[in-house]
Amino acid sequence: MYKNKPYKLIGSPSVTVWREARRFANSEAAQGALERISSEQLTAIVEACDKGDFKAFVELSGGATVPLKDQPLRALHVAKETPNKLTFPPKPKP
């Protein structure tokens, strides 16, 4: 198995963002951070995730076919220094 995600809908907003927003909504820092950022769209996305409303999350993120570059919220991926489980070398830093 190649560790692919068969449940990932092509073009849909990231499930990782959904999970992290749900986790963030229940953190102590969430309310203060949302007030400092003061983005109505971000607040609405986090509230939809907290309520478990995946449909609203997708709609607020731009819809089911929005390109990645146009999504308002994305997960931060950090490059690792060691090979992964499939023994691929880490990606070179730009």
How many CA atoms lie less than 13 Å away from 66 in the CB half-sphere? 17
- Pairwise pLDDT comparison (83 vs 45), residue with the higher score: 45
- Pairwise pLDDT comparison (47 vs 28), residue with the higher score: 47
Whether residue 3 is contained in a domain is answered as no
Whether residue 17 is contained in a domain is answered as yes
Rounded to whole angstroms, what are the CA distances from 79 to 58, 83, 92?
27, 10, 8
Strand (E) positions, 12-59? Answer: none
Range of weakest confidence among 4-8, 23-27, 74-78: 4-8
Mean pLDDT of 1-26: 73
Helix (H) / strand (E) element for 58: namely helix 54-60
Whether residue 24 is contained in a domain is answered as yes
pLDDT by residue (tens digit) across 25-44?
Answer: 888 787 778 778 878 888 89
7 has pLDDT over 60: no
Query: Average pLDDT of the chain?
Result: 78
Q: How many structural domains does the chain have?
A: 1
